[in-house]
Amino acid sequence: MDKALDMKVLVEQVIDICARAGDAILKVYNSSAELEVDTKADDSPVTAADLAAHRLLEPALAALIEGVPVLSEEQEILPYSERRQWKRYWIVDPLDGTKEFIRRTGEFTVNVALIEDGEPVLGVVHVPVLDITYAGCKNNGAFKRSAGTEQSIRVRSLAPRLEAGEPVELVASRSHGAGAVDRLVERIESDLGSVACKNMGSSLKLCLVAEGAADLYPRLAPTCEWDTAAAQAVVEAAGGVVVDDKFRLLRYNTKDSLLNPHFYVIGDSGFPWRELLTK
């Protein structure tokens, strides 16, 4: 990271941009007009809110650091032969949780991350409906901002909870990978005791681990890199880790495909999760 790049200033600038994108999303969300949903080439849904947020985010982020490109879900993806040259870039999901947006659950977010050499070093996850923002950057910690108040966030230790007879708290997708997660829950219960599972949409699941409200998020179904990068930066700034199914740190822009491997979001990285999760 350039010494001249003030990460604390940069994260505030990104928070402001994400909040404005959130406002653009809410204009569509709160509109009385019938919501129009189109389908992209990969069969995923897209709405006017996704596109409105993208149109705000892309130029605003491009202007923050000269020469740093923006990779957004809602744009044509450049070939890897060009992307592999990027040492630093922004990766954006203008509206993460479009299905939740369509269902009007409120569980959708604006995700922005700065990637450096494959590592998410700054991330902002904004929740428009709740006006809550999670943010973190490498070596500067993580925080949650809500209703004008800010608090530092940190992952929690698991061993004291187990000693007190409390359950392992796991978050999972509402839409994907239920069978594989059920089998994992059975293994955890066999080894560690009871498991409490909460289903939720979008990158909020990673943020719950980051703020110490959950212990583990197993993602055993497909995701794309823009789905995870921002919240991974928050998790890691809060002391947690995000690892793939081989227990390697999840990294970005390392291959032609933008699909992630299956992964685990772990709060207490000192707990011996590896043996249990890779059985």
Binding-site positions read 73, 93, 95-98, 227
- CB environment 209-218: b (16+ within 10 A), e (fewer): bbbbebbbbb
Looking up tokens 């389908």, which residue turns up? 39
**Residues of each annotated binding site for Mg(2+):** 73, 93, 95-96, 227
Task: Report the 10 Å Cβ neighbour count for 88.
Answer: 16
Burial 151-189 (b: 16+ CB within 10 A, else e): eebbbbebeebbeeeebbbbbbbbeebeeebeebbeebe
161/64 Cα distance (integer angstroms): 43
Helix (H) or strand (E) holding 228: helix 225-237
Under a CB-based contact definition with an 8 Å cutoff, are residues 252 and 118 in contact? yes
List the binding residues for substrate.
Answer: 73, 95-98, 227
Closest residue by Cα to residue 90 from 52, 56, 120, 49? 120
Tokens encoding 179: 């069978």
- Candidates 120, 141, 129; CA nearest to 210 is 141
> Measuring CA to CA, how many Å separate 240 from each of 127, 211, 243?
21, 10, 10
Whether the CB-CB separation of 61 and 81 falls below 8 Å is answered with no
- Phi, psi angle pair for 192, to nearest 5°: -120, -15
